[in-house]
C-alpha cells in the first residue's frame, strides 16, 4: 500500500523540521501537529499488525490463484508461487503487488466466465483483506 510506513514517519519529521512562514504558525501549525499525532498513532498500529496482515494477505491470494490455475490457466499458478524475499514491509509489498495484479486479472476472468461461486469467494476475500489492513481511528472528542 502507499504511502509506506517509512514514508509517513520521515514525512512527519520533515513537516515539523521545515520552518513555515509566519502566516503558517498558530492555528495552522496546531492543526498540523494534531494530524501528525494521529499519524503516529496509526503508525503504531501498522507496526503491530502490518507485517502479519501482509503475510496473511499474500498467502490468501496465492491460495486463490493456485486453486484457480486448473480452470483459468497455468499463469495463475506461476503468480501464486511468488514469495517475498524477506519479512520487511518493502519485500512483502513487492510480492503483494504481483499477487494483487494476478488477483485482479483472475477476478476479471471469473466475471467474464460467469463463475458465480468463485466470484463470491473473491468478493468475500476482499472483505477479509480490507479488515486486516484497516486502521482504527479512536473516537476523538470534538474541540
Partner 1 sequence: MSDLKAGLEAYLSDLWGAPTSVSNLSRIPGGASRETYRLDADTGGVTRGMILRRDPPGSLIETDRRLEFLAYRTVHGHVPVPQAIALEADGGPLDRPFFLMERIDGGTVPSPFVFDPYGEHAAALGRQFFTTLGKLAALPHEGTPIRQVAEAPAPEDCWRIALDHWSGVIEADEQHPQPIVRAAIRWLRRHPPPPAQRVSIVHGDYRTGNFMHDGAGTILAILDWEMAHLGDPIEDLGWAFDPLWNHFDEGKVAGLIPPAEAVALWEAASGLTVDAKALAWWSLFNAVKGQAIWTSAAKEYRDGGFIDPILAISGWYTARRHDVILAKRLAQLEGI
Please report where in the chains the cell 514469495 appears, as a residue.
Answer: 83
Shortest Å, Cβ 122 to partner 1: 8
Q: Confirm if 82 and 99 have CB atoms less than 8 A apart.
A: yes
Count, residues near partner 1 per rule CB under 8 A:
56
Shortest Å, Cβ 28 to partner 1: 4
Shortest Å, Cβ 59 to partner 1: 16
Burial 17-53 (b: 16+ CB within 10 A, else e): eeeeeeeeeeeeeeeeeeebeebeeebeebeebbeeb
> Considering the rule CB under 8 A, would residue 88 count as an interface residue with partner 1?
no
C-alpha cell at 40: 503516529
Select from 49, 125, 127, 60 the least CA-distant residue to 89.
49
Binding partner 1 (rule: CB under 8 A), the pick from 19, 27, 74, 114 is 27
Spatial distance between the Cα atoms of 119 and 71, rounded to a whole number of angstroms: 13
Interacting residues with partner 1 between 96 and 125 (CB under 8 A):
96-97, 100-101, 103-104, 107-108, 111, 119-120, 122-124
Interacting residues with partner 1 between 31 and 50 (CB under 8 A):
31-32, 34-36, 38-39, 42
Select from 60, 99, 103 the least CA-distant residue to 83.
99
- Per CB under 8 A, residues contacting partner 1 are 1-3, 7-8, 10-12, 14-15, 18, 21-24, 26-28, 30-32, 34-36, 38-39, 42, 93, 96-97, 100-101, 103-104, 107-108, 111, 119-120, 122-124, 126-127, 129-131, 133-135, 137, 139-143
Amino acid at each position: 500500500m502507499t504511502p509506506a510506513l517509512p514514508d509517513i514517519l520521515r514525512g512527519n519529521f520533515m513537516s515539523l523540521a521545515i520552518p513555515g512562514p509566519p502566516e503558517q504558525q498558530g492555528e495552522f501549525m496546531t492543526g498540523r501537529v494534531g494530524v501528525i499525532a494521529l499519524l503516529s498513532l496509526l503508525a503504531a498500529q501498522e507496526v503491530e499488525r502490518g507485517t502479519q496482515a501482509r503475510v496473511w494477505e499474500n498467502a490468501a491470494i496465492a491460495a486463490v490463484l493456485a486453486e484457480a490455475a486448473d480452470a483459468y490457466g497455468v499463469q495463475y499458478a506461476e503468480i501464486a508461487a511468488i514469495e517475498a524475499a524477506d519479512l520487511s514491509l518493502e519485500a512483502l509489498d513487492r510480492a503483494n503487488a504481483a499477487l494483487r495484479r494476478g488477483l485482479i486479472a483472475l477476478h476479471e476472468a471469473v466475471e467474464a466466465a460467469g463463475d458465480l461461486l468463485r466470484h463470491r469467494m473473491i468478493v468475500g476475500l476482499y472483505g477479509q483483506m480490507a479488515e486486516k489492513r484497516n486502521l482504527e481511528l479512536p473516537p476523538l472528542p470534538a474541540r
